[in-house]
Amino acid sequence: MQHDPANPALVYPFATPPAPGEITEVAPGVLWFRLKLPFALNHVNIYLIEDDGGWLVLDTGLATDDGRNGWDAIMNGPLAGQRLTAMLVTHFHPDHVGLAGWLAERYGLQLRMTRTEYLFHLQARQPGGDMRGEAHRDFYRHHGLGEEVTELVMTRGHGYLRRTTLAPPVYKRIQQGDHQRVGGREFEILTGGGHAVEQAMLHRPQEKLFFAADQVIAKISPNVSVHPMEPDQDALGTYLTDLGALRGAVGPDVLVLPGHGLPFYGLHARIDELTSHHAERCGLIAKACGLHPMTVTDLLPHVFDRELDPHQMGFAFGEVLAHVNYMQGRGELREEPGNDGVMRFRT
Ligand SMILES: [Zn+2]
């Protein structure tokens, strides 16, 4: 047991993650391993849940050589001679759904996913990715983003195509309130928005197990962004509402098994911390917009005190806009359209 120095209410029962190619048993019939990611966030957690005659796969990894080799190392190593039975993918982000098509082909696995996440995956897989046309480009200009970064964000969708395999053409829908039978156990399905759209989580109160996907992670605040396809989206409002619902639905003493980082105890403390983190960011935005009218791009250095490369800038931009939309909806900010066609906000 290891306490988080930044928040002693969070406790990590496993001090270190499994090494590449190795597996850690986190609970009876629940295995955990990691696959590499080529980002600052350098790994994704994959879980295996004991099923009839094998293991159900929870999330699949990114479609890179590292991802495929990581699976090979597990299937030829600790899982040699064992069978995979099905896969459940929590959400459409490439590090979670990326190898679903490859695993389906290789092992004949059925895919279980929520409907919205499945459709978003298909949408993001369109030729050219999910950024289409001048309307999306105008959206970034409208909020004051420079041409270079706009270009980068607009072509990010190509990365999705490159780093995912196409999920199988048939899937089994899961949704909030479902009970998923896996082997001898039943898991309650919960869903949440804000980070993704209808992200699936698995809860087994009898054993105090909670697979949180990317909805609640220790140390990292899950990215909550607005996408130009739905520019007025209140992603942050949705995220905060759904966090509140989660706090009500899942007890404080579960073992949280997240999509990234270490498993931990302290779900409610972490939810409270994430909630106040976003309130703090709203405070920074209100303060900046109280002095001068600000574009979303102007607000970036007020919210992020570190240097952002163009790639991070894209995510940071979506994140700040999520706060701006949320605050506008609550009447804490109002729009001030400029003659230059760029939107500014003030308190
Ligand atoms: Zn995600």
Q: From CA 274, how far away is CA 166, in angstroms rounded?
A: 33
Domains and CATH numbers, the chain: 2-141+156-266 (3.60.15.10)
What's the pTM?
Answer: 0.96
User: What is the rounded average pLDDT of the residues 158-177?
Assistant: 94
Q: Which two tokens stand for residue 96?
A: 């979670």
Secondary structure tally for the chain: helices H, strands E:
11, 17
Distance 137 CA to ligand 1 centre (A): 24
Distance 21 CA to ligand 1 centre (A): 23
| Strands in 170-301 per DSSP E | 172-173, 179-182, 185-192, 199-204, 209-213, 255-258, 264-265
Phi–psi pair at 17, nearest 5 degrees: -75, 160
Largest CA distance in the chain: 68
Distance 342 CA to ligand 1 centre (A): 30
Q: For 101-155, what is each residue's pLDDT tens digit?
A: 999 999 999 999 999 999 999 999 987 666 777 888 899 999 999 888 888 888 7
Contact 175, 182 (CB under 8 A): no
Name the pLDDT band for 157 (thresholds 50, 70, 90): low
Percent of the chain with pLDDT over 70: 98
Distance 81 CA to ligand 1 centre (A): 31
Distance 44 CA to ligand 1 centre (A): 10
pLDDT value, residue 40: 84
Contact 22, 6 (CB under 8 A): no
